[in-house]
Amino acid sequence: MCRFIFPLALLTTILSRLHAADTATNGAADPGRKFTYVVVHGAWGGGWAFKDVERRLRADGHTVYRPTLTGQGEKVHLASLLTTNIDLNLHITDVENIIRWESLSNVVLVGHSYGGMVITGVADHVPERIKHLIYLDAIVPTDGENANQALGNPNRESTNAFIAPFWIRGTEPIPHDVPHPARTLSQPISLKNQEAARKIPTTYLLTVDPGRQPQQDMFFRAAERAKARGWTMRTMEADHNPQWSAPAALVAELERLP
């Protein structure tokens, strides 16, 4: 009687590939797909807010950049030097320069909250460098619109150069939120390359607080605008800051690229 001995190495390879195919079929992240993420924080924050998200993404083999916008986070010392000169265009340049100076390409560009204004401008400037855009509970502006208008707050003004919400008391331990430059919210975005930018695959991820309906979310209007543009739409149960309240779930969503 002849015995057929199946090579162990070949068997292991076949089983590994079958497992990978089954994982992909079930919608989980493909461990073979590695991306370069550039994550842009929201107003009052800083790159520090996404430190845990970076750690988790890097553990899965991805490359991650989390730039801090001028006047925010560890760059807060620049706020007193530049005062009213910090505007939306400067913040767009902050992120664009990371991409250019680090020679990045095929970037998954993520914008959280106000960061949606910034990544919209970056995609308009360097669409050829962007693989995918992800708007994380973020503003979706149209050409000539500022952040206040896009959020439905066209009359919100500040007599100061910075806007400090109630939760900033000035006594918090570092790292902490800091006052946000007012001009970044009132300066209209200027888009010159919309045709190329709108060819970039884009996902809108709406975070909805437990027990609430999506229509009650502050960013539901932005999500509806994204839907009208034909973007991929997803919803996750979390508050507005899933990088703190649900980092594992957020990372799973960030890795779910088409």
Comparing C-alpha atoms, which of 101, 114, 164, 110 is closest to residue 135? Answer: 110
CATH number at residue 249: 3.40.50.1820
Report the predicted TM-score, pTM, of the whole model to 2 decimal places.
0.87
Q: Classify residue 136: in a domain, yes or no.
A: yes
* 3-state class (DSSP) for residue 163: strand
Q: What's the confidence (pLDDT) of residue 158? A: 61
Q: Classify residue 12: in a domain, yes or no.
A: no
Report pLDDT digits (tens) over 65-88: 999 999 999 999 999 887 768 999
Q: Is the pLDDT of residue 7 over 90?
A: no
Q: Classify residue 123: in a domain, yes or no.
A: yes
Q: Is the pLDDT of residue 140 over 80?
A: yes
Q: Classify residue 29: in a domain, yes or no.
A: no
Structural domain of residue 133, as residue ranges? 35-254
Q: Classify residue 217: in a domain, yes or no.
A: yes
Report pLDDT digits (tens) over 154-170: 666 565 789 988 899 88
Q: Classify residue 60: in a domain, yes or no.
A: yes
> Confidence class of residue 4 from pLDDT cuts 50, 70 and 90?
very low
Mean pLDDT, rounded, of the chain: 88
* Lookup result for tokens 């200027």: 190
Q: How many domains, in total, are found in the chain?
A: 1
Q: Mind spelling out the 3-state secondary structure of 65-84?
A: ECCCCCCCHHHHHHHHHHHH
Rounded distance between C-alpha atoms, residue 185 and residue 163, angstroms: 10
